[in-house]
Structure 1
């Protein structure tokens, strides 16, 4: 039976490129027909799955010098517990035709699959993971579910284990003591230990025993020995050992999941930048729709203060857009009809209509999220080594525990003591830390970096940092505070700085611009005048009547619009701008009375950090999307 696959290809520049790929594919054993379209950028390949598969087809395209593009989907797998699980998932999914690559990460519990949708669907991938004995879930709901699940089980187990411990240690003469301990111990194993037993069953069925097997073996051995002594003999009882083992491991898993959830915060924060809903205009009517339903060509209305729902082009209106998350520029960028905007950036001042051009995985924000996820999933060399060891650890531990039991029995210590020693070996040798330490450390490092605007391309980069000789810093929010503040007030009319600030703050009280926020913050505690006739000019400034007098604040454009001459203000404005400051001109009754200069100040410890790096022999550079004047001023200040 033949299969047909449609594969997107990057890197084609002409019809000759398409012919080259066709030739490479046609030469592949098992391929019956290959048609490559330069216009659509796709290859339609008909092949015999018994002789060829997507991996070999992908290899043929790459051998021709081009890049096949696969779709990517992330599954949250709650019951992925150790390196053995990773191996089972990766190998199991790669056996499925249409799957290009699989990257399972224990720290995030994410399984990222690259696949060809025309060959295998997302639902088939989900079913394949279920077939391997795991439970794939939507990432966000999975995170919420796992936290509550382990917390509930731990609280229940703790509540029951405490009386088990007290009765075992201190109430030796309690009536029906053995029966009470049996009932309480059974409750802990059934409720609290259920996840360990189901996990053990699945791992043994796959032929790759994991840490669940160690916990289940240890708890069951202590429990069954105690049950035997309860009903058939008069030996020691170890219900407390079984219950405490389950409870403490549950506590560890709950804390582990909480730590990993915090480590995943950087990706969730990036996701939160994308608005949930968009105002779409169709047939002259505006209606709210989920942002994920947007399609290229849709027209969306974006109001002041709202996040832009998708990448696109402004077709109506103008505004100032805060693009600091993308470019690092501290001051909003003026946008007008024909300008492009990026999804997730903030519309600050004006009303505008945007034609959507890129959505989903093609959007700029999705590419950033994908970059961070891929970096967190990519294994460092030391992590690959740890996974290799952990995957073979469980059989060795079981063998050592068995030898421990036999050795103590031969030494005449009795079955109870020997069993306790064997259980101890099983518990302390659980490879949780071995399988989790490296990926969690890498994930936390990459996550913290992403929060601070530093994207690190995987764990191997973290390992290579010890060899680096150059450091390149982002400016906004890394070397600087990340928001403008008033640096200087120039009085051009002898009215006093307080008067200039009061006029400016009164006007800016009606604006949402970050520069307005800086002025209002500086004027805190000063009384404002009465404001009438407020009018905003996106990308220019605002005007209105302040205490009954015509006033305005903004850049040169609004002064020109209102016919206000720069006169002596030009030289002062030029000086401030040469120092990397952003200037706001304040006018009253047709005359510029002062200038308020603002700057995104360096962080208090930025200079010290740069000096320390230089002492280590590193070259330090700053990379910014801000203008050259601002960049030079910041570099001069921090050295």
Structure 2
């Protein structure tokens, strides 16, 4: 690198600093780091838990080292990001999910025997045998110690900072239940061997709550594992975008020689060569050569663009045939691809409030529970004087307040909805999707690959009077047999379908990159390609074919001219066919009260023709990828809550910017990773179905959260006054969890098809918007 400035100096000079933040385990962690940074004078910070990044805008007098120290003092790790690097998108997300999975498996396997033995040894003392206490401890210790260690560690780290979170309450509940159980097993139950029966469960003395400690660990680990998986998927969008970049570039030196160098060393003004099949390394202008360039990753166009001298090209696109010498005009973080990475990262910075609700409330809830437990212990000691009764009441407060149901409220509903959604072709990827669906009033659809099939098909053939359709197809198919162009593939497939294999052999084949191809077939010179190719060779289309070509192109079709022996003999029309389900899906969205917009990089004529065919109300055509995100923001600025449906790399910024991103599962991994809902069924009716399912899931989650918090508010006072012993409190907590699970399981009966068949528009969901 030619620059000698340090990352800190670069960050300060730009008044924007990016930090990688390590050690964050939940949304509360990112919120805590954000609050700490924003307390600094002249600092505006936004922390993204999904990417592990903090984006800070600071004044010239704010040293980047101060930002790092602030994050470290909050209990997390931090490093400054170099301004010329691509976001790694949370590289440790995979490891964290795997660690949680191992802990969860151990907890699940040990929960059942611990629960069975705890109850059995309490109510049936005759079943006890020498060393039974050590058996229970041996079964529970791996869970309450090793599996629950992340909660203990986070609680201890929070205590050192004078902060509390749900981890604090989870850790205290696990430790308190375990400690009391050990005390009861070794001291109280030994004194109760003469007594037996289920009525012992109603007593405070001698109860075992190891199943409470193990169950609490298991349920909360399940929720954390689900969050880690969502985090991993969110971060991978940035990795996929970065993978589009060329790794190496062939630089053309001033003396005409060529040198291969890493793409990051390319500088503005340098010229570089891109051969067939190569990826363009930077935005630039073609100075030499002609080629067909696959721009589908950036523009969504199904037909490759022609690039010759003077044409502007963008990094991340692929040269299909021919070679280009390009002069770089934008490199590194200034390229359009880098801008797409930034757009996706910034759009993902927001976090759904339903995901953070428990953590926000825990800022008040946890300290209040701890204070109440201490007050309960003190009050009982003063009033009753019994240490055991006082500890029992205080422990009951801690156990009844343990957020078991709260930890299940969101993940169980999401898991059930995901399973049901999979059968409907819907995958709910994150919390934001659920929150956004209730407000969405506008659905923006990409054209290529979303509304249309995403591949060219032959739809019409026009011939001069003395030639038949099959002869024009036979000659065109023979020439295109040697071409890999998408249009050529469509012509070749149509020829084989109508005429059968094999097609005539072609000799003296020549390709004109971006224009067409020619060769000798059955002794005749055949030329197939754009009208421009024929015009350059002095061949004019007959008036009737010229009129037909204009009509086809006005309706959005791609036209290909066929000539034999320097005479135009026919015209082929190709188009990207609309999906059969598109019209019904748009009608269903309108019945749901949603507005529809077709947003595409295609030309205006093609876009309007497709919109008229399927019934879309509004068309925005000819937009580049960053323009798509800008159009979404413009719609949002008009007061609309926008859902975007797309499938390509070019749709990723718009999907991430939208209030609700919906990716077609047959599309690119990048679009899928940037979206909130993945539509894995190749049927656009899944779009309205996904909205109704997401709204139903959100309603279920809110009901779960309301119950979980309401249960705590109602049950804690009962525990504090001694009306609930810890075991009954544990049972009540289990019943609360059972309610949450059973309420979530109702989503298995969700059926948008039956609603549609009945002619309904899910009014209970629509009115919730």
TM-score range, shorter chain: 0.7 to 0.9
SS state at 1:155 partner: helix
Q: 3-state SS of the aligned residue for 2:578?
A: coil
Question: Cα deviations across residues 455-494 of structure 1 (Å, max 9, x unaligned)?
Answer: xxx999959956x6x7665433444333332221224366
State the match for 1:529 in structure 2. Answer: 504
Once residues 538 and 160 of structure 2 are traced to their aligned partners in structure 1, the CA distance between those partners, rounded to angstroms, is: 82
Equivalent of 1:538 in 492, 513, 533: 513
Alpha-carbon distance, 1:397 to partner: 3.8
CA distance in 2 between partners of 1:432 and 1:207 (Å): 23
Counterparts of 1:237 and 1:462, CA distance in 2? 44
Distance 1:92 1:236, change over 3 A: same
**Alignment match, 1:27:** none
Hey, what's the Cα distance between the residues in 2 that align with 1:524 and 1:463?
Answer: 46
Query: Equivalent residue for 1:112?
Result: 54
Q: How does 1:326-365 map to 2 (within 5 A)?
A: 326-365=298-337
DSSP 3-state at the match of 1:586: strand
Q: Give TM-score, length-normalised by structure 2.
A: 0.62
| CA deviations over 1:321-343 (Å, ceiling 9, x no partner) | 23344444442222222222112
Gaps of 5+ in 2: 80-87, 122-126, 191-205, 419-425, 427-431, 616-769
Distance 2:460 2:379 in 1: 81
Whole-Å separation in 1 of the counterparts to 2:119 and 2:454: 59
| Paired residue secondary structure (1:392) | helix
- SS of residue in 2 equivalent to 1:536: strand
Q: Which has the higher contact order (CA 8 A, sep 6+)?
A: 2
1:274 aligns with 2:216: no
CA distance in 1, matches of 2:146, 2:253: 54
Q: Quickly say closer, same or farther: Cα 1:196–1:387, change in 2 above 3 A.
A: closer
- Closer/same/farther in 2, CA of residues 632 and 115 from structure 1, 3 Å limit: closer
Q: Deviations over 1:120-155 (max 9, x none)?
A: 787875565344212458534122222222122223
Task: Give the C-alpha shift of residue 212 in structure 1.
Answer: 1.0
Q: Secondary structure at the match of 1:133?
A: coil
> Relative to structure 1, is the Cα distance of residues 432 and 204 closer, same or farther in structure 2, using a 3 angstrom cutoff?
farther
Give the SS at the match of 1:558: helix
For 1:296, what is the secondary structure of its paired residue?
coil
Cα offset, 1:272, TM superposition: 3.9
- Residues 318/306 of structure 1: CA separation in 2 closer, same or farther (3 Å cut): same
Distance 2:504 2:90 in 1: 49
Give a deviation string over 1:211-235, Cα, whole Å, max 9, x none: 1111111111112223334555534
Q: 1:524 to 1:287 in 2, by over 3 A?
A: farther
Q: 1:356 to 1:426 in 2, by over 3 A?
A: farther
SS in 2 for 1:489: strand
Report the CA distance shift for 1:420/1:299 in structure 2 as closer, same or farther (over 3 A).
Answer: farther
SS in 1 for 2:155: helix
Q: Which residue, 383, 401, 406 being the options, matches 1:426?
A: 401
CA 1:94/1:340 → structure 2, altered by over 3 Å: closer, same or farther?
same
Which residue of 543, 547, 555 maps to 2:530? 555
Q: Note the C-alpha offset of 1:367.
A: 2.1
Could you report, residue by residue, the CA deviation over 1:367-408 in whole angstroms, capped at 9, with x for unpaired residues?
Answer: 233223222323678889876544333223434566788899
Q: Which residue of 1 aligns with 2:156?
A: 201
In structure 1, the partner of 2:557 is 581
| Per-residue deviation, residues 549-582 of structure 1 (Å, max 9, x unmatched) | 4322111222234554423532332232232211
Q: CA RMSD in A?
A: 4.4
Decide whether aligned partners of structure 1 residues 119 and 297 sit closer, same or farther in structure 2, where only a CA change above 3 A counts: farther
Kindly report structure 1 stretches of 4+ aligned residues shifted beyond 6 Å.
117-124, 380-387, 403-413, 433-438, 458-461, 616-619
Query: What SS is found at the alignment partner of 2:580?
Result: coil
**Secondary structure at 1:348 match in 2:** strand
Q: Identify the residue that residue 81 of structure 1 maps to in structure 2.
A: 26
Q: Find the residue that maps to 1:583 and give its secondary structure.
A: strand
Map residues 251-266 of structure 1 onto 2, 5 A cutoff.
251-264=222-235, 266=237
Is contact 1:319-1:347 (8 Å) kept? yes
How far is 1:109 from its partner? 5.5
* Residues in 2 aligned to 1:566 and 1:574: alpha-carbon distance in whole angstroms: 11
Q: Secondary structure at the match of 1:594?
A: strand
Deviation at 1:362, TM superposition (A): 2.1
The residue that corresponds to 2:215 in the other structure is 244
Q: Which moved more, 1:215-224 or 1:270-279?
A: 270-279
Identify the residue that residue 657 of structure 2 maps to in structure 1. none
2:37 counterpart (79, 88, 93): 93
In the aligned structure 2, how far is the partner of 1:499 from the partner of 1:505? 10
The partner residue of 1:304 within 269, 276, 279 is 276
Q: Structure 1 residues 578 and 249, CA, compared in 2 at 3 Å: closer, same or farther? A: same
Tell me if the contact between 2:373 and 2:395 (Cα under 8 Å) persists in the aligned partners: no
Q: In structure 2, the residue corresponding to 1:141 is in which secondary structure?
A: coil
1:155-554 equivalences under 5 Å are 155-165=105-115, 167-168=117-118, 172-173=127-128, 175-233=130-188, 234=190, 235-264=206-235, 266-281=237-252, 286=258, 289-378=261-350, 388-399=360-371, 418=393, 421-428=396-403, 462=436, 465=439, 473-492=445-464, 496-523=468-495, 526-527=500-501, 528-547=503-522, 549-554=524-529
C-alpha distance in 1 between matches for 2:479 and 2:373: 77
**1:583, 1:598 within 8 Å by CA — same for their partners in 2?**
yes
Give the Cα separation in 1 of the matches to 2:263 and 2:412: 37
In the alignment, the residues of structure 2 paired with residue 261 and residue 623 of structure 1 have an alpha-carbon distance, to the nearest angstrom, of: 29
Q: 1:169 deviation in Å?
A: 5.4
Check whether the contact 1:294–1:359 (CA below 8 A) recurs between aligned residues: yes
Q: Which of 89, 94, 97 does residue 147 from structure 1 map onto? A: 97
Note the alpha carbon deviations across 1:15-51, whole angstroms, 9 max, x for none: xxxxxxxxxxxxxxxxxxxxxxxxxxx999xxxxxxx
The 1:509–1:247 alpha-carbon spacing in structure 2 relative to 1, beyond 3 Å, is farther
TM-score (norm 1): 0.73
| In 2: Cα distance, 1:119 partner to 1:300 partner | 41
Structure 1 residues 434 and 230, CA gap change in structure 2 (3 angstroms): closer
CA contact (8 A) 1:82 1:432 kept: no
Per the alignment, in what secondary structure is the counterpart of residue 482 of structure 1?
strand
Which range moves more in the overlay, 320-329 or 534-543?
320-329
Whether the 8 Å CA contact 1:325–1:345 is kept in 2: the answer is yes
> Is 1:197–1:212's contact at 8 Å kept on the other side of the alignment?
yes
Structure 1 contact 73–122 (Cα < 8 Å) conserved: no
Aligned residue pairs total 558
**Distance in 1 between residues matched to 2:527 and 2:245, nearest whole Å:** 34
CA drift of 1:315 comes to: 2.6
Distance change in 2, residues 1:232/1:614 (3 Å): closer
